[in-house]
Chain A
Amino acid sequence: MKFTLHIVPDGEEEVIVYAKEKSALCEKIRQTCEEFSLEIVGYGEKEAVKLSAEEIVCFTVETGKVWARTEKEIYAVKQRLYVLEEMLGEGFVKINQSCLARISAIRKFEYSFSCALKVVFKNGYTDYVSRRCIKTVKERVGIV
Chain B
Amino acid sequence: MNQYLKAFFHRGLVFGGFGPIVTGIVLAIIAWSGVSVSLSALEILVMVISTYLLAFVHAGASVFNQIEHWHISKSLACHFASLYTVYSLCYLVNAWIPFHLTAFLIFSGVFAVSYLIVWLAVYISIKRISEKLNKKIEQ
A-to-B contact residues, CB < 8 Å: 103, 106, 108-117, 126, 128, 134, 137-138, 141-143
CA distance A115 to B137 in the complex (A): 21
Give the A-B contact count at a CB cut-off of 8 A: 52
- Say whether B133 faces chain A, with CB atoms less than 8 Å apart: yes
Q: In the assembled complex, how far is the CB of residue B59 from the closest CB belonging to chain A, in whole angstroms?
A: 11
B129 touches A134 (CB 8 A): yes
Q: In the assembled complex, how far is the CB of residue B82 from the closest CB belonging to chain A, in whole angstroms?
A: 14
Chain B interface extent, by class: 20 to 34
Task: Specify the main secondary structure of chain A where it touches its partner.
Answer: mixed
CA distance A113 to B77 in the complex (A): 12
CB contacts (< 8 Å) of A128 on chain B: these are: 66
Known: A108-B137, A112-B72, A128-B66. A117 touches B126 (CB 8 A): yes
- Say whether B99 faces chain A, with CB atoms less than 8 Å apart: no
- Say whether B100 faces chain A, with CB atoms less than 8 Å apart: no
Q: In the assembled complex, how far is the CB of residue A110 from the closest CB belonging to chain B, in whole angstroms?
A: 7
Query: From B70, which residue of chain A is reached at the shortest CB distance?
Result: A114
Q: In the assembled complex, how far is the CB of residue B76 from the closest CB belonging to chain A, in whole angstroms?
A: 6
18 contacts between A and B (CB under 8 A): A103-B137, A109-B130, A111-B126, A112-B72, A113-B76, A114-B64, A114-B75, A115-B122, A115-B123, A116-B65, A116-B66, A117-B129, A117-B130, A126-B68, A128-B66, A138-B129, A141-B136, A141-B137
CB contacts (< 8 Å) of A112 on chain B: these are: 72
A143 touches B66 (CB 8 A): no
A109 touches B133 (CB 8 A): yes
Residues of chain B in range 93-139 having any CB-CB distance to chain A below 8 Å: 119, 122-123, 126-127, 129-130, 132-134, 136-137
